Structure formats: structure tokens, C-alpha cells
Amino acid sequence: MTFNKNRAGDLIRQGHLIQAVLLDNEGMLIDAAGERYEPEKLSSIFFSVKSLAADLERELNITEVLEFAFRMPAQRMRLNIRHVPTEGQDLILICLLPIPLSHMPTLRELLMP
């Protein structure tokens, strides 16, 4: 899968997306759109969330955690971190979304086969 940077740019201009960052399963930056934060800052969040997901899976006997969402009302945004299983290489998609959310970008909009 590849990052649809053109579509991400459209969603940013339309106010439906603030920023998107695509990482490999090791947390290495593949691509990004938007300029709210340095992509490396957002990618560093991945390691904390990966650890939290492992803890949840272990402690609650959950087979797979695919997504985390954090709402930050004071900043009027939501941070969405999604594990995207693909053939060959799993990906991590981190999106900053505006609050209120008028349109939730789908994986199909941001990732292309």
C-alpha cells in the first residue's frame, strides 16, 4: 500500500484532516502530509502506543488492538493511530483530525493498494 498524498492534501484543504503520517511497523517514517507537527514527533508517539497495545493484549487477553483515538478538546483535535495489516509489511497511520469531525477520512482515501 502507498500513501495517497494528493487525497490527504485535498482533505487538509477541505478542513477534514489536519495531518497524516504513515509509518512502517518499526515506526520509521514513510510519508506525511500536513504541517501541524514535525512528522518525527508524531512518529515517536507510536512507540508508547505500541507498548500500550501490547499491555492491553496481554492483560485483557485481547488478540489484536488495531486502533487508538485520543480527543484533545482544548486543541480542537483528535489523534487517531491505526495499525494497518497488509500483505508483506504492516503499516501505522497516524491522523490528526479536527473537532468537530465533519468527515472521517477512511483508509481507502489515504492508502492505495
Contacts 24+ apart (CB under 8 A), 10-13: 11/103, 11/105, 11/109, 11/110
Computed over every residue of the chain, the mean pLDDT equals 90
The number of angstroms, rounded, from the C-alpha of 1 to the middle of its chain's C-alpha atoms is 14
Domain extent, residue 32, equals 2-112
Return the pLDDT at 85.
85
Q: What is the CATH number of the domain that holds 64?
A: 3.30.450.30
Which residues, 6 or more positions from 6, have their beta carbon under 8 angstroms from its beta carbon?
A: none
% of the chain with per-residue pLDDT over 90: 63
Question: Is this structure's pTM higher than 0.75?
Answer: yes
Look at 1-5, 9-13, 28-32 and tell me which has the smallest mean pLDDT: 1-5
pLDDT band at 107, cuts 50/70/90?
low
Specify the number of domains making up the chain.
Answer: 1
Q: What are phi and psi of 86, to 5 degrees?
A: -135, 165
pLDDT for position 23: 95
Query: Cα separations (Å) of 108 from 26, 59, 89, 93?
Result: 22, 32, 17, 12
